[in-house]
Amino acid sequence: MSEAGFASSAETTVTVDGHGLPLWLLLELTYRCPLKCPWCNNPLDFDVYREELSTAEWIDVLRQGRALGAVQLGFSGGEPMQRRDLEELVGEATRLGYYTNLITSGMGLSQTRLGALRDAGLKQIQLSLQAMDADLNNRLVGAEAHAHKLAAARAIKAYGFPMVLNVPVSRHNIGEASTLLDFAEELGIEYVEFANLQYYNWALVNRSDLLPTREQIAAAERVVAERRARLGRRMTIYFVISDYYDDRPKACMKGWGNIHLTIAPDGAALPCQEARVITGLEFPNVRDHALEWIWRDSPVFRKFRGEDWMQEPCRTCPERGHDYGGCRCQAFLLTGDAAATDPVCGRSPHHHLVGEAVAMAMADRRSNGLIMRQRGFNVA
Amino acid sequence: MSNGAPLQRSDVVELDPRYLFRWEERQQAYVLLYPEGLVKLNATAGAILAEVANTAEIGVLIDNLTEKHEQQDIAGDILEFLEQSHERGWIRIKR
């Protein structure tokens, strides 16, 4: 016990420092999904990856991950409800001592399966919803999904799960914040996350048709501030700004290979969900290697870990310990060099690229429509 | 929900059910787990919340901790930490 005082301040009680442990394990169980969201963060060639890990292989990943110190576990996709063995995997994760999160569109989340997931020990569910306006919601996801999503939200709360309502925010639905919050309040949803889209994969393809204006973002922030003031601790509202409108980069994944580990449907181990956008990296696969080697020693996970890889201006920047140079994937997508400073940073020599992308999006306001997620998409 | 009144020795508190509190062997620390997040607690914070999980009344909790750690003047520190925990939504007043 400390001599200075028995109970220290809250600041010193909180840390996300994993001390080298992969605290967060995210399993992308499948890339299959009945929706066609034009901001999907799955790879553009998602349909190429057909050999999903088997139930036994996923269970082996779960055991290895827990032994390495993973605590938070996400089941994601694609749509994870597409896997018929989800309940079995959740049950095994519960036995191993994970805190289990299901990240779902609500498609396929029947009452029967909700009950089975609860019995398997699932801790919380994150449900995505785009709008309370059914036509708008269905147009954005490319399917008749709205009624299913609302029913899923009600069922999740009826079964007593804590719930995160996730709203992927583009210029098409940013004006829906108020009605979505009404719905969340009515249901007693504990967390609402307005996640301004991050521009990778499908969202990057559609960037000019998705990026909101500064004015739209400011208006939504006012709505959120008013709700926070009124609802207090009854609801936690996150508002994740689009980093295109920031001049400080996000502390992406709290650093590459620091606390986060994603396993893709085919068993590829990724330092973040988007990492496959960086070409030239050979991602280690859990079918070939032990998870401990992948995490500690594989070249990909070591590549941008720590600070040795940094160039100027990151190398001598006083912020480098806080933002880790921003996002490696974004650096690669916008500059062609994954080791460059994230161009979102005002100190990046490539910062003008972000401003130009915003200007293009504002001027263009394309009328040829959103490109929905689809098979056989020609990347070139 | 708190109306801002300070916690009293007679208050009965409990961990908010949104949080899962437990010992994590690999970290040698107590952690709080919640939807998509985790807080690793330092030794003192962990000891206090462990007591919250066992005991109900703040006065009893303070007496237990004082006895266990043979320290006299920690009541104020404990109350302060409980206030912070309450503010963060980790604990709630049962009655």
Distance of CA B42 to the CA centre of its chain: 12
* pLDDT of residue B20 exceeding 60: yes
Do A269 and A283 contact (CB within 8 A), yes or no? yes
- A89-110 burial, b at 16+ Cβ within 10 Å, e below that, comes to bbbbbbebebbbbbbbbbbbbe
Q: Is the peptide bond before A313 cis (omega within 30 degrees of 0)?
A: yes
pLDDT in tens, A79-120: 999 999 999 999 999 999 999 999 999 999 999 999 999 999
Alpha-carbon separation of residue A96 from A88, A114, A168 (angstroms): 13, 21, 32
Chain B nearest C-alpha distance from A40 (Å): 20
Q: How many CB atoms lie within 10 A of CB A53?
A: 23
* pLDDT of residue B78 exceeding 50: yes
Supply A106's token pair: 């609500």
- DSSP bridge partners of B15: B91
Under DSSP, the state recorded for A123 is -
Chain A nearest C-alpha distance from B81 (Å): 6
Residue among B1, B43, B81 minimizing CB distance to A233: B1
Q: What angle do CA A312, A327, A246 make, to 5 degrees?
A: 90
Distance of CA A205 to the CA centre of its chain: 18
Residue A49: what pLDDT? Answer: 92
Residue A366: what pLDDT? Answer: 59
- Sheet with strand A260-263: strands edge to edge: A236-240, A191-196, A163-169, A124-128, A99-104, A72-76, A24-28, A260-263, A269-270
pLDDT band for position B37 (cuts 50, 70, 90): confident
* pLDDT of residue B75 exceeding 90: no
**Could you write out the DSSP letters of every residue in chain B?**
---SPPP-TT-BEEE-TTSEEEEEGGGTEEEEEETTEEEE--HHHHHHHHHHHH--BHHHHHHHHHHHHT-SS-HHHHHHHHHHHHHHTSEEE--
For residues B1-12, give the mean pLDDT.
74
Tell me how far apart the alpha carbons of residues A147 and A145 are, in angstroms, rounded to a whole number: 6
Residue A1: what pLDDT? Answer: 29
Tell me how far apart the alpha carbons of residues A324 and A339 are, in angstroms, rounded to a whole number: 11
Residue B66: what pLDDT? Answer: 87
Angle at which helices B43-54 and B75-88 pack, to 10 degrees?
80
Q: Is A117 helix (H, G, I), strand (E, B) or coil?
A: helix
Q: In chain A, which residue's Cα lies nearest the Cα of B75?
A: A6
At residue A27, φ and ψ (nearest 5 deg) are -105, 115
Cβ pairs bridging A and B (under 8 Å): 88
Residue among B18, B27, B45 minimizing CB distance to A162: B18
Question: Taking Cα atoms as reference points, which of A29, A143, A154 lies closest to residue A93?
Answer: A29
B1 interfaces chain A, CB cutoff of 8 Å: yes
- DSSP bridge partners of A98: none
Tell me how far apart the alpha carbons of residues B36 and A287 are, in angstroms, rounded to a whole number: 27
- More confident call, B18 vs A197: A197
User: Under an 8 A CB cutoff, do B35 and A13 touch?
Assistant: no
User: Under an 8 A CB cutoff, do A233 and B35 touch?
Assistant: no
Under DSSP, the state recorded for A211 is P
Q: What is the largest CA-CA distance in chain B?
A: 38
pLDDT band for position B4 (cuts 50, 70, 90): low
Tell me how far apart the alpha carbons of residues A235 and B69 are, in angstroms, rounded to a whole number: 37
Chain A nearest C-alpha distance from B45 (Å): 6
Tell me how far apart the alpha carbons of residues A375 and A71 are, in angstroms, rounded to a whole number: 34
Reading chain A (380 residues) residue by residue, the pLDDT tens digits are 232 334 333 333 334 445 588 999 999 999 999 999 999 999 999 999 989 999 999 999 999 999 999 999 999 999 999 999 999 999 999 999 999 999 999 999 999 999 999 999 999 999 999 999 999 999 999 999 999 999 999 999 999 999 999 999 999 999 999 999 999 999 999 999 999 999 999 999 999 999 999 999 999 999 999 999 999 888 999 998 889 998 899 999 999 999 999 999 999 999 999 999 999 999 999 999 999 999 999 999 999 999 999 999 999 999 999 999 999 999 999 999 999 999 999 999 999 999 999 998 898 665 568 999 999 986 65
Q: How many CB atoms lie within 10 A of CB A141?
A: 28
Residue among B35, B38, B45 minimizing CB distance to A162: B35
Tell me how far apart the alpha carbons of residues A125 and B36 are, in angstroms, rounded to a whole number: 10
Question: Taking Cα atoms as reference points, which of A118, A149, A121 lies closest to residue A133?
Answer: A149
pLDDT band for position B89 (cuts 50, 70, 90): confident
Residue among B18, B43, B84 minimizing CB distance to A1: B43
Show the domains of chain B with their CATH numbers: 13-91 (1.10.10.1150)
Question: Taking Cα atoms as reference points, which of A206, A312, A315, A195 lies closest to residue A243?
Answer: A195
B43 interfaces chain A, CB cutoff of 8 Å: yes
pLDDT band for position B76 (cuts 50, 70, 90): confident
Neighboring chain A residues of B39 at a CB cutoff of 8 Å: 13-15
pLDDT band for position B1 (cuts 50, 70, 90): very low
- How many residues in chain B? 95
B10 interfaces chain A, CB cutoff of 8 Å: no
User: Under an 8 A CB cutoff, do A8 and B45 touch?
Assistant: yes
pLDDT in tens, A210-257: 999 999 999 999 999 999 999 988 899 999 888 999 889 999 999 999
Q: What is the pTM of this model?
A: 0.90
- More confident call, A280 vs B6: A280
For residues B61-80, give the mean pLDDT.
85
- A238-265 burial, b at 16+ Cβ within 10 Å, e below that, comes to ebeebbbbeeebbbbbbbbbbbbbbbbb
Residue B2: what pLDDT? Answer: 44
User: Under an 8 A CB cutoff, do A9 and B84 touch?
Assistant: yes
* Whether complex ipTM tops 0.85: no
B69 interfaces chain A, CB cutoff of 8 Å: yes
Tell me how far apart the alpha carbons of residues A165 and A188 are, in angstroms, rounded to a whole number: 11
B27 interfaces chain A, CB cutoff of 8 Å: yes
- More confident call, B73 vs A53: A53
